[in-house]
């Protein structure tokens, strides 16, 4: 087995040109037509909606709804209508984007036109303000209209009140992207992870827009520190609400693979050699096939750790 690798050539071709395992195939990026939006009550005023792309959390106060993420655009409106009906509200006044991906920002245009407050990390606003090309020959993901972009941004953290509930949000640096936010409902003890925790498999980082596997590991640690034994955790995808113990178990698995990938990089392994070594094999019974996670995670290390990149 050869471990030799021309690193600059890999950065030009392996990183930029591998469309087959690029971001377009990340968990939740594409969402099948005809999906049914399913709601789960988290409290009298808090609702989880799945089946619209990325998971959506809706919270009611006297003014209407606050939404955490908006699903994919084709399904966001249906999810919003369902949340309004079930929570007895007439409008959504606030939307928090946990990151820039289309399966989280599908309601930005509708709510932006309606004058809603759209909260995000500043880097998320920047990504939504430009065309993003994930590979050199791929069609770009078009920027959102100005009215659909976040109009209240943070570099670190923030909070707002919803009647008796306090909502806190904070930055998870360079994890899934370079603009990830978590959202925590203090009274309800509900934590929304955004894209850092997939919820339906391995948490693949978007290295094109600033995520990397070691940032993902750090993101897990930060989220765990926000939990107690009773915290309910809503992930980016999937239908299961998890807890602190599940986060800790996933972090252990992700950190183990990240450590192995880092050591392989320093030894000069080529991408094919990394896959052949199967560093996640012992964990695939829990999180599923790791081919994409390993491929994208290894790519994510190159811009930060390759000495001649």
CATH code, 14: 3.60.15.10
Distance, in Å, from the CA atom of 309 to the CA atom of 298, rounded to the nearest integer, reads: 14
- Terminal Cα-to-Cα distance of the chain (whole angstroms): 23
In this predicted structure, the answer to whether residue 18 has a pLDDT above a threshold of 60 is: no
- Provide the pLDDT confidence category of residue 20 given band limits of 50, 70 and 90: very low
Instruction: Report yes or no on 1 lying in a domain.
Output: no
Residue 166 phi, psi (nearest 5) = -110, 130
**Residue 301 pLDDT grade (very low, low, confident, very high; cuts 50, 70, 90):** very high
User: CB-side exposure of 207: number of CA atoms within 13 Å?
Assistant: 26
More confident residue, 32 or 80: 80
Query: Does 190 reside within a domain?
Result: yes
Would residue 209 count as lying in a domain? yes
pLDDT band, residue 82 (cuts 50/70/90) = very high
Whether 2 is in a domain gets the answer no
What pLDDT shows up at residue 307?
59
Please give the pLDDT value at position 4.
Answer: 39
User: pLDDT class for 110, splitting at 50, 70, 90?
Assistant: very high
Determine contact, residues 199/55, Cβ cutoff 8 Å: yes
Q: What is the pLDDT of residue 266?
A: 93
Q: Identify which has the larger pLDDT, 15 or 42.
A: 42
In a domain, 242, yes or no: yes
Residue 143 has what pLDDT? 98
pLDDT value for 31: 43
Spatial CA neighbour of 103 closest among 80, 75, 139: 75
Assigned domain for 154 exists: yes
Q: Given the structure tokens 């209407």, which residue do they identify?
A: 64
How do beta strands 64-68 and 92-96 pair?
parallel
Higher pLDDT, 128 or 19: 128
pLDDT bin (cut points 50, 70, 90) of residue 305 is confident
The count of structural domains within the chain is 1
pLDDT band at 7 (very low <50, low <70, confident <90, very high): very low
Which residues form the domain of 192?
7-305
For residues 106 and 122, what is the distance between their CA atoms, to the nearest angstrom? Answer: 18
User: Is there a domain that residue 266 lies in?
Assistant: yes
The predicted-structure confidence for 203-243, as pLDDT tens digits, reads as follows 999 999 999 999 999 999 999 999 999 999 999 999 999 99
Q: How much is the pLDDT for 296?
A: 95
What's the chain's average pLDDT?
90
User: What is the mean predicted confidence (pLDDT) over 15-23?
Assistant: 37
Instruction: Please say if the pLDDT value at position 177 is more than 50.
Output: yes
Task: Find the mean pLDDT for residues 91-109.
Answer: 98
Structure confidence at residue 134 as a pLDDT band (50, 70, 90):
confident
| Burial of residue 305, with CB atoms counted within 10 A of its CB: 0-12 exposed, 13-18 middle, 19 or more buried | middle
pLDDT for the residue 35: 61
pLDDT at 308: 57
Establish if 66 belongs to a structural domain: yes
């Amino acid at each position: 087995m050869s471990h030799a690798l021309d690193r600059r050539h890999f950065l030009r071709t392996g990183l930029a040109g591998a469309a087959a395992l690029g971001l377009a195939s990340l968990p939740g990026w594409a969402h099948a037509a005809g999906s049914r939006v399913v709601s789960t009550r988290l409290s009298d005023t808090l609702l989880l909606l799945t089946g619209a792309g990325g998971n959506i959390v809706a919270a009611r106060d006297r003014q209407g709804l606050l939404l955490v993420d908006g699903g994919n655009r084709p399904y966001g409106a249906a999810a919003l209508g369902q949340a309004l009906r079930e929570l007895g509200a007439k409008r959504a006044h606030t939307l928090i984007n946990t990151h820039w991906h289309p399966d989280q920002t599908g309601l930005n245009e509708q709510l932006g036109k309606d004058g809603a407050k759209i909260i995000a990390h500043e880097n998320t606003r920047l990504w939504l303000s430009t065309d993003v090309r994930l590979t050199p020959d791929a069609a770009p993901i078009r920027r959102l209209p100005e009215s659909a972009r976040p109009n209240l941004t943070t570099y670190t953290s923030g909070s707002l009140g919803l009647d008796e509930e306090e909502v806190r949000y904070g930055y998870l640096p360079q994890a899934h992207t370079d603009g990830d936010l978590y959202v925590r409902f203090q009274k309800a003890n509900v934590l929304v992870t955004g894209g850092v925790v997939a919820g339906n498999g391995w948490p693949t980082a978007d290295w094109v827009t600033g995520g990397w596997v070691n940032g993902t590991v750090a993101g897990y640690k930060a989220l765990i520190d926000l939990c107690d034994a009773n915290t309910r955790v809503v992930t980016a995808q999937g239908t299961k609400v998890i807890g602190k113990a599940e986060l800790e178990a996933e972090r252990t698995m992700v950190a183990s693979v990240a450590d192995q990938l880092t050591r392989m990089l320093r030894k000069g392994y080529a991408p094919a050699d990394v896959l052949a070594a199967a560093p996640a094999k012992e964990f695939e019974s829990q999180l599923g096939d790791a081919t994409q996670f390993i491929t994208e995670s290894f790519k994510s290390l190159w811009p930060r750790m390759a000495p001649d990149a």
